[in-house]
Amino acid sequence: MRKGGARMSRRYDRRHSRETKGHGALGFLVTFVLLLFVGVMVFFFLSDTSYKGTKGKVYSLFYQQQYGEQVHKYAAEFGVEEPLVFAVIRTESGFRPEVESAAGALGLMQIMPSTFDWLQESLDGQVKYTADSLKDPDINIRYGTYLLSVLLKQYGVRDTAIAAYNAGTTTVNGWLQDRAISPDGKTLSNIPYEETSAYVERVGHAYELYQKLYYQ
């Protein structure tokens, strides 16, 4: 009985060993095919410089054109590039019209109530909206785009205007007078505020992607 049991055990061990090897080979083949597929997809993704193929479709999921009608309307009215407006909205609020910052900035383009009053007086000659109106996408995009147009005209350099949108004109004017920060008095080569430096970089990156995805 023990001898028969031993023979059966050896046969089982050999059969189990063959099955294990078979499963191992199959697993290796499946893994190889998956890695090959991923490699091919990555190759086509990286080689797609036009952003019109797979790469563009992937990026467009994260760089959307929500509120496109309002952006198109007010960008044309105030002479601001649409990709820049989209980039600011995406960076400021992620296209969430109800968002409010800890500092009190409101809406899609994160406008401070005091700035909103100034914008209304400058554009309309009177203050006719309350701060809560900034949660209205149409109103927020109108005045936010107008603010961008004012800053672009004032500074003449996109990145400097973006920095002023984040840090304020008083702060940026001071930076432009410091040759360690602005050698030419127009551009900012060394932004002292880490938040503003990162903000300018994020908006600039989003601007370039919007350009490539939708405007080239």
pLDDT tens for 160-171 read 999 999 999 999
Range with the lowest mean pLDDT among 37-41, 158-162, 209-213?
Answer: 37-41
Most confident of 9-13, 47-51, 191-195: 191-195
User: Are 182 and 188 within 8 A, CB to CB?
Assistant: yes
In this prediction, residue 57 carries a pLDDT of: 82
- pLDDT of residue 30 exceeding 80, the answer is no
Task: Give the angle 108-206-211 at the CA atoms, nearest 5°.
Answer: 110
In this prediction, residue 50 carries a pLDDT of: 62
Mean pLDDT, the chain, rounded, equals 87
Range with the lowest mean pLDDT among 44-48, 56-60, 149-153, 184-188?
Answer: 44-48
Closest CA to 206 of 81, 100, 111, 96: 81
In this prediction, residue 45 carries a pLDDT of: 47
- pLDDT of residue 4 exceeding 70, the answer is no
Which of residues 175 and 61 earns the better pLDDT score? 175
User: Are 51 and 213 within 8 A, CB to CB?
Assistant: yes
Q: What is the DSSP string of 19-69?
A: HHHHHHHHHHHHHHHHHHHHHHHHHHHHH--SSSSHHHHHHHHHS--TTHH
In this prediction, residue 36 carries a pLDDT of: 60
Largest pairwise CA distance in the chain: 106
Q: How many whole angstroms separate alpha carbon 179 and alpha carbon 192?
A: 12
pTM of the model: 0.77
**pLDDT > 90 fraction of the chain, expressed in percent and rounded:** 71
What residues have CB less than 8 Å from 176, skipping those under 6 apart?
160, 182, 185, 186, 188
Span 83-106, mean pLDDT?
98
- Confidence at 41, pLDDT banded by 50, 70, 90: very low
Q: Which of 19, 92, 100, 121 is catalytic?
A: 92
Check if 92 is active-site. yes
